[in-house]
Amino acid sequence: MSATSNQITQLVEQIYREEGGRVLAGLISHLRDFDLAEDVLQEAFIMALKSWSQDGVPANPGGWLTVTARRKALDRLRRNATLAKKTEQLQNITELVQEAEEVDDAEVYTDERLKLIFTCCHPALALDARVALTLRTLGGLTTTEIASAFLTTEVTMAQRLVRAKKKIKGAGIPYQVPPAHLIAERISGVLAVIYLIFNEGYNSRSGEALIRHELCAEAIRLVRALHQLIAQEPSLSPNSEVLGLLALMLLNDSRRKARLSPEGELVLLEEQDRNLWDKIEIQEGLAMLDRAMYLRNPGPYQLQAAISALHAQAATPEATDWSQIAALYGELLRLHPSPVVELNRAVAIAMADGPLMGLALLKPLEAESILDDYYLFHAAKADLLRRAGNFAEAAIYYKKALVLTQNPVEQSFLQRRLAGVGG
């Protein structure tokens, strides 16, 4: 391969990484067809490799790719025998191609990724379909990578994607940013999908560690993109929960390297080596949280981010402001009452005021049996009993917790604790 064609290959790869997503989003939006868009984009990139080495790199590579892909889509649709179905699409495309030719290689091509995020996260799609589609089309992950991340087979994941795309087409799910009166609840839906992706990567089960971290990185990238896209959209005002989720994920992610020992054992927050926490991520997380709070529109992600921030800012476990953390959990309870949040608050109060105070708060939760199947409840109670010196009862609850988790890392941790109380 000559030096020039090598350079072109590298450049095309760079364009793919930097602009591929935007171009794809634009194509999906115009063609109303995920698969067609992916296919013609791939063809356009192949053409770019040939044509740019002969004619040079265009001034607007993204625009060039868009126009080329649209032309290829038109060719395909023309060749397609069942034109009756496609007549509306054909007209659409013909108009687009004419439009594009008039504008001369499209000086400007709009960033359609915002529309795509809302389409992939539409509430009419099942949650696992939203996650898969978002990772595939916005994250650019392959079906194999997504299947591996969610511990399912490639066939299952491929079917899930096919069904999701069929639902979008069949049910008429729109390719648009939702109208003003729906935007708040739809953004919250998008954030839920992104947070799910993050947690899937953060709370690694078994499976390749690399893919798991890639999920966290992808989630952070997605929420950043969402934030930027909203900022660029004049009809939308900045959203404090988008910033809040970004802050929360950055702050949690900053502890990534400290959470597992070299032997792969779980390391609790209070035992983590804080030198391994990513200071740059913490700084950015704190800055995002500040910007969120400045908008004076509190919400659950901001509150959780604030809690994570208090940990991040404590130089040592002893320096942690547990009273403030407990207060924040209290706020979170007001907004989103949930037994898990009550549990977390009880643990925080135990840290601030002693294990007996925490145990008292756990009593009503246990009486209502809501968290009976939640291993963290039993693990937390065991821990408080241990700290209160009640080893015998602590052992009982460590055993209860052990029964409820299949995660080998968590099991190993609980075994050690159980041994520590003579169980």
Q: What are phi and psi of 203, to 5 degrees?
A: -95, 70
Taking CB under 8 A as the criterion, which residues in 83-112 touch other proteins?
84-85
Asked if residue 282 lies in contact with residue 296, where contact means CB atoms within 8 angstroms, the answer is no
Contact residue for other proteins among 1, 54, 170, 406 (CB under 8 A): 170
* Residue closer to other proteins, measured from CB, 91 or 176: 176
Asked if residue 149 lies in contact with residue 200, where contact means CB atoms within 8 angstroms, the answer is yes
Contacts of 144 (CB under 8 A, 6+ apart): 154
Is 173 near other proteins (CB under 8 A)?
A: yes
Q: Can you tell me whether residue 249 is helix, strand or coil?
A: helix
| Residue 123-142 contact track with other proteins, rule CB under 8 A, x = bound | -x------------------
Q: Is 297 exposed, middle or buried (0-12, 13-18, 19+ CB in 10 A)?
A: middle
Closest CA to 343 of 315, 357, 328, 362: 362
Q: How far is the CB of 181 from other proteins (least distance, A)?
A: 9
Q: How far is the CB of 189 from other proteins (least distance, A)?
A: 13
Closest CA to 66 of 46, 40, 92, 91: 40
* Residue closer to other proteins, measured from CB, 181 or 296: 181
Is 79 near other proteins (CB under 8 A)?
A: no
| H or E stretch at 368 | none
Contact residue for other proteins among 56, 172, 337, 422 (CB under 8 A): 172
Structure tokens at 206: 């078994």
Q: How far is the CB of 223 from other proteins (least distance, A)?
A: 23
Q: Mark the segment that binds other proteins (CB under 8 A) among 69-77, 164-172, 221-229, 403-411.
A: 164-172
Is 389 near other proteins (CB under 8 A)?
A: no
The site for other proteins, by CB under 8 A, has a size of: 14
* Residue closer to other proteins, measured from CB, 179 or 408: 179
CA distance 114 to 186: 12
CA distance 34 to 71: 16
Contact residue for other proteins among 162, 171, 180, 268 (CB under 8 A): 171
Contact residue for other proteins among 46, 80, 174, 270 (CB under 8 A): 174
Residues at the site binding other proteins, with contacts judged by CB under 8 A: 82, 84-85, 122, 124, 170-174, 176, 178-179, 182
